[in-house]
Chains A and B, each alone.
Chain A
Amino acid sequence: MSDKTRSTPITPSGLNRRRLLQGGATFAAAGAVGGITGFPFVNRLSARAADAQTLNFWNFYAPGGDVKTQVDWFTKMAADYNASHDIKVELDYVPNADYMSGSKLSTAFASGQGPDIFLISPGDFLRYYNGGVLLDLTPYIDAQAQADFPEGIIASRKVDGKIYGIPMELEPMAFYYSKKAFEDAKLNENDIPKTWDELLEVGKKLTSGDRYGLLFEVQPGYYQNFTWYPFMWQGGGEFQDANGKSAFDSPGVVAALKLWQDAINSGAAPRQLLGGGGGDIVANLGAGYCAIQNVGIWGISAMDNNAKDVPYGIFKLPTPPGGKYVTVGGGWAFVANAKGKNPEAAGKFIAWALASMSPDSIQREVDWCTVAKSDMPTRTSALKQGADAFNKGNLALFAKDILPGVRGEPRLPPEVYKIISDAIQQTQLGGADPQATATAASKQLDAFLATYKGAPML
């Protein structure tokens, strides 16, 4: 038997390979059994059953956001609701970039586990509506409250007269300028540009060795489109005419594309931005990178909180020759998942939070726009109830000067957004001829509109 030796070598501890494999197999089996029954993520059924009484509200403000006033607003809202209702609302924080351009929401919806309540921007509205996941909120909102939202603001969240989202804020776009930069270039209040030509001129005057005069958004995305639309509208441009055909090949569009191209080509505007991009005023204007920045109303609280030592001014968008003053107003909305675990409760929550005529619902909107952020409200009653806050300081400037003439951010299907985004990018950064680009984009738009069967674009 001496030659029929062991075929498995014995290690010093007495553990041979067979024992190791057997042990490993048992361990793995135990783990698998435990995992399948124990882990909440694996065992969906038990997880869902346990949470039918909880609504998940996915947002990018709380409880992990970095602006305390905004976090407080959300947590107070959830706490107030939970104190007075059986069904509880739970806030789930998703970081900003992840929420807007990440895959978290898409993956959740694709696997049928989308959140019960979430925030939506006008740019994304059609994608979700056409996918059939937005709940009709009209039954939960009484008629008086429905009328409280001006048509121009709520229209982009309505389809066939039914409301699918409640806007929480209105953020008009304007220009902010650095007072110190103006002083350095020996300019004063009278030099604030009122036309596009003046804007370019002042921008060039303010450009120096380490500072740009003007700043527009350059990174492709929904935000860039959003900031460009008012320039198109001012010259009378539209992307769709009354017959539903593309109206992109028009002088207004070409002029708007040319303005952004001239700003870059003249050297007044940068091709690359700092910080979070065009919407980040503190990293650009606040850091002295540019003298004039195209930014929305949220710049007020951003500068006041994070760049206290940079004095700034605000002026409304200049107009082209023969053009009309228009600005664009964005803002996110509360929506409910029609395929969630308890859509009715979600609808009721949204109505209670922001779309009821009770004073605390209106006050909640006022608090969001004056305390948590610096925004314009979306309800007439909120504008009245918070009148003294809205008539103070820079908010007053927005309320009186900039707000009249605001047009809600359009809702477009992703393909249309992309066509317009490419046109802006080609002209602004690629140096393409604006007329040729507008014509080509218009043809693409027509091709798409011919087969589009979703809710109407606005």
Chain B
Amino acid sequence: MLPIPHPALRATFCHKGEKEEFGTRFAKSLLLPQGEKVRQGMRGGPQALTLWPTPTLGPSLKEEGDDGAKTLCSPSETAMTADTNTSMASTETPAKDRPRPVGLTSRQREALAGYLFLAPDFLGLLIFVGLPMLLALAIGFFDVNGFGTFNFVGLANYLRMAGDPLFWQCMRVTLSYVVMLVPGLYLSGLGLALLVQRTNRFNTVMRALFFTPQMVSVVVIAVIWQFFSGDKIGLAARLFTSLGMPGVSILGSPSLALFTVVFVSVWFLMGFYMLIFLGGLQDIPQQYYEAARIDGATPRQSFWHITLPLLRPTSFFVLLVSLVAAVAGSQAFDLVYVMTKGGPANSTQMMIIYIYQQAFQYSAFGYAAAMASILVVVLLALTGVLFLLTRGGRFDFE
């Protein structure tokens, strides 16, 4: 029995080849994940279907029998509410000959509804995020002392940045942090998800436990790990002493502090990424694994050739989000600031902490805004690379 497709898809099925209005396309692209394939558990093996009307759509439906298409689009079906009288266009008079109905078509109303639902969130983002971002970009060209004076200085802040050794130190620290954190989160998230993939009681408990750090305030986490990593009497110090390495200070040595901070960040965030990967793993149909097993594939081959490729959208999302989190996330600032305040000797001085200090402790708002603008540009560049490599986050599966 064919499942009744999503109402938005009905338009696609029933208007093969007809050009859709832009509004409906846009609404669909917003309402349904762009590029995401809708998998329908059809008989004969999973067939991935694209949302965009393509000629290939017809044959896969027609395989079920011609009555399939007619059943979906036939106006006589009382179980479905027909879209508008244009849905009958394929069976009655051509659309361009019929008199246009007054007011908006149903599809246009759908589109309008979509926009209206998005409007509050979009307005909020525009007013509270977009506008301040533009203002901060503008402030970067001024000398602002935080007490009311604004002096236009052009590129002076950017030149100062170029000659500021601490700025380059922060850049190095931030990039090291990103390079260690993003793969760390990816691997630990994926690893944990694979471990607790099967749904049984034990795994459910473990999933909750892995996620628990996320439910605790990041400041509390920072303080607790500060105790753990304390000198001489902290857990880590005692461990090292028992291993024959006394005097190791994992948070007080400039060479080790960043690793400690990365470790705590990964510990804090891995539950969240585990959940995302779990979702992605559960999306993969079991038939693939069964088919592979029948063909004699080892678990490792299954993982490499089935799991990983089909996890690409999830991986993309995880990499993107963890990249942004590594540079500007709450754990990048709060955790590091509470644990080390950017020390020892600027070895954990993240860019975001330096920006904060320049703005709120040294009252150099213009300089801080200029640095923040550079940070945004770097982030945009990195995420742009990610998007480019994945062609806009679209993943085609055969």
Chain A residues in the interface with B (C-beta under 8 A): 3-9, 17, 21, 28, 101-103, 106-107, 109-110, 112, 127-128, 130-133, 209-212, 218-221, 267, 270-272, 274, 289, 339, 414-415, 418, 422, 425-426, 428-430, 432
Contact = CB atoms under 8 A, between A and B. Distances in A.
Given A4-B85, A7-B106, A110-B147, A430 B363 contact: no
Contact of B344 (A6, A110, A112, A218): A218
B362 A127 contact: yes
16 contacts: A28-B120, A106-B360, A127-B363, A130-B145, A131-B148, A132-B149, A210-B233, A212-B231, A218-B343, A270-B249, A289-B233, A339-B148, A414-B361, A428-B345, A429-B343, A430-B347
Given A8-B109, A110-B144, 15 more contacts: A3-B82, A28-B120, A106-B361, A109-B147, A130-B145, A131-B146, A131-B147, A131-B149, A133-B147, A218-B343, A219-B340, A221-B341, A270-B232, A271-B251, A272-B229
B230 A418 contact: no
B354 to A, nearest CB: 10
A5 B81 contact: yes
A289 B233 CA distance: 8
Minimum-distance CB pairs A-B, first 10: A271-B252, A131-B147, A414-B362, A430-B345, A429-B344, A425-B345, A271-B249, A103-B360, A270-B231, A272-B252
Contacts of A130: 145
Interface string B144-176: 111111000000000000000010000000000
A102 B84 contact: no
B49 interface: no
Interface string B343-354: 111110000000
Most buried by A among B166, B247, B346: B346
A108 to B, nearest CB: 10
B344 A271 contact: yes
B386 interface: no
A416 to B, nearest CB: 11
B355 to A, nearest CB: 12
B360 A422 contact: no
B233 A5 contact: no
A422 B357 CA distance: 14
B75 interface: yes
Given A272-B249, A414-B364, A429 B345 contact: yes
B203 interface: no
A131 B151 CA distance: 13
Interface in B340-398: 340-347, 356, 359-365
Q: Tell me whether chain B's interface is mostly helix, strand or loop, or mixed.
A: loop
Most buried by A among B113, B249, B345: B345
Interface of B: 75, 81-85, 88, 106, 109, 113, 116, 120, 144-149, 166, 226, 229-234, 247, 249, 251-254, 340-347, 356, 359-365
A218 B341 contact: no
A422 B347 CA distance: 11
Contacts of A432: 345
Given A5-B81, A272-B230, A414-B364, A112 B345 contact: no
B344 A425 contact: yes
Nearest to A105: B360
B84 A7 contact: yes
Contacts of B251: 271-272
Given A110-B147, A274-B230, A17 B113 contact: yes
B102 to A, nearest CB: 12
Q: Tell me whether chain A's interface is mostly helix, strand or loop, or mixed.
A: loop
A78 B113 CA distance: 57
A157 B113 CA distance: 63
Contacts of B231: 212, 270-272
A271 B248 CA distance: 10
B341 to A, nearest CB: 5
B395 to A, nearest CB: 33
A103 B356 CA distance: 9
A408 to B, nearest CB: 21
A7 B108 CA distance: 11
Contacts of A289: 233
B341 A220 contact: yes
B341 A219 contact: yes
A101 B344 CA distance: 17
Contacts of B229: 272
Nearest to B78: A2
Nearest to A337: B147
A430 B148 contact: no
Given A7-B84, A131-B145, A425 B363 contact: no
Contacts of B106: 7
Nearest to B106: A7
Nearest to B356: A103
Contacts of A211: 232
A8 B360 CA distance: 52
B362 A270 contact: no
B343 A425 contact: yes
Nearest to A128: B147
Given A270-B232, A426-B345, A132 B249 contact: no
Given A110-B146, A270-B231, A271-B252, A6 B81 contact: yes
Contact of B81 (A9, A21, A219): A9
Given A7-B109, A274-B230, A430-B254, A106 B146 contact: yes
Nearest to A422: B346
Contacts of A9: 81
Contacts of A110: 144, 146-148, 365
Contacts of A3: 75, 82, 85, 88
A65 B251 CA distance: 30
Contact of A220 (B148, B230, B342): B342
A271 B247 CA distance: 10
